[in-house]
Amino acid sequence: MTDKNIHKIIRILQKEVKKWEAPAVTKVAEKSKDPFKVLISCILSLRTKDITTAAASHRLFSLASSPDDMLKIPVGRIEQTIFPVGFYRTKARNIIEICRALTEHYDSIVPDSIDELLKLKGVGRKTANLVVTAGYDKDGICVDTHVHRISNRWGYINTKTPEKSEDALRSKLPRKYWKIYNDLLVTFGQNLCKPISPLCSQCKVIAYCRRIGVNISR
């Protein structure tokens, strides 16, 4: 895949994703315009299906929509509210720790820098980048399993870990695509370019894809 083909791929995906549901965290960001809700919903989304994330986020934010209000809720109730998201007990404790840190060190405002976000309990680079891009509309490259897998499947980058993929994409991906890249590839990956047996026969970008690691497809 040549560097110039990324422009063609992005244009194709921008049209294709319109027929699919947007990722749960993206919906939260678009509806609320609230970095705190983006942060918490992203925490809930880790290793959890989108439909479960969306429902848990809605239930939790109906109880509390700010760090100060969240700290008024017992951790046990948060656990019950977000169940059955993956690792719900750990996430409930992390949410409390995050909210405590926000109230004590950031005047209850979610920071807009990756370095500061990474200081929060349970926040990794994927979450930090998503908060920066979806919550603050600033440049960042959020790399989750879909972004890592598909970028390598195309042959656009050649990396072994999401962290290395972020570095490679920051060096290679045109900056104008940084904020939209995650949304496009997550939606594409959830619906068509699946981890196992992707639907290559239906793919509009197959002409630009080296199909690296694809042994079985439909």
What pLDDT digit, counting tens, does each position of 106-146 carry? 999 999 999 999 999 999 999 999 999 999 999 999 999 99
In whole angstroms, give the CA distance from residue 138 to residue 140. Answer: 6
Q: Where are the domains of the chain?
A: 5-21+141-208, 24-136
Q: C-alpha angle with apex 142: 125 to 34, nearest 5 degrees?
A: 90
Amino acid letter for position 71: L
Domain 24-136: give its CATH code: 1.10.340.30
Record the pTM.
0.92
User: What CATH fold (topology level) applies to the domain 5-21+141-208?
Assistant: Endonuclease Iii, domain 2 (1.10.1670)
List pLDDT tens digits, range 34-68. 999 999 999 999 999 999 999 999 999 999 999 99
The token pair that represents 202 in the structure block: 């239906």
**Tally of CB atoms within 10 A around 192:** 20
